[in-house]
Structure 1
Amino acid sequence: MSNVFLTGQLVCNGQEQVALVERHLPLHIKLTRAEQGCLFFEVNPTQNPLVWQVDEQFQDAASFLAHQQRVAESEWGRATASIARLYETEGM
């Protein structure tokens, strides 16, 4: 078993999308950090007010894939589906 790392950026196209991130992010962070296999999860604003830095670490591919599935079916996933994600994943 090897850890899975995701790093990258969530890139909003305007204030409407920023408001969606700000509204839904606290619960998304809380739920993700509570997931089995989540070792590290941070989403932080950058100097660019439209861009958020995302860094994740999961204990293995199974826990990472379970996270991805949960997110796709979550309120966060639905509300932010149109926001660009520029991510790189290691360990899959």
Structure 2
Amino acid sequence: MEIVSLTGRLICRNPSETDTVRALLPSHIQLTRAEQGCISFEVQPTEDPLVWEVAERFVSPSAFHAHQQRMASSAWGQGTTGIQRDYRIEGL
């Protein structure tokens, strides 16, 4: 199976969205890293306080899709749905 990698940026429009990311991110990281098939999961702030660097790796497309499904119904997925994402996905 091919490893799936997602890289890119989470781009907040304003400090309110940044506050949402900061509040929900610790739990999202913990839950994602605990998922079967997660190789690595990093979300780091950048020099721009509204932008976060994202890097994810999963063992297979099915593990990546399972992550996407879990994430969509999570507090993170619900709370950040309107925040812009600029992602590149390889391995699908």
TM-score tier after normalising by the smaller chain length: over 0.9
* Cα distance in 1 for residues equivalent to 2:69 and 2:44: 22
After TM superposition, give the deviation of residue 87 of structure 1 in Å.
0.2
Q: Deviations over 1:56-83 (max 9, x none)?
A: 0000000000000000010100000000
Which residue is equivalent to 2:90?
Answer: 90
Offset, 1:4:
0.1
Matched, 1:7 2:7: yes
State the identity as a percent: 52
After TM superposition, the score normalised by the length of structure 1 is: 0.99
Gap runs ≥5 in structure 2: none
Q: CA deviation at 1:33?
A: 0.1
Q: Could you tell me how far apart the structure 2 residues matched to 1:28 and 1:81 are?
A: 14
**Which residue in 1 is equivalent to 2:56?**
56
Distance of 1:75 and 1:56 partners within structure 2? 19
How far 1:30 moved relative to its partner?
Answer: 0.1
- SS in structure 2 of the partner of residue 82 of structure 1: coil
The runs of 4+ residues in structure 1 deviating greater than 4 Å are: none
Q: Distance in 1 between matches of 2:89 and 2:4?
A: 7
Kindly state the Cα deviation for residue 47 of structure 1 after the two structures are TM-superposed. 0.5
CA RMSD after TM alignment: 0.3
After TM superposition, the score normalised by the length of structure 2 is 0.99
5 Å matches for 1:23-38?
23-38=23-38
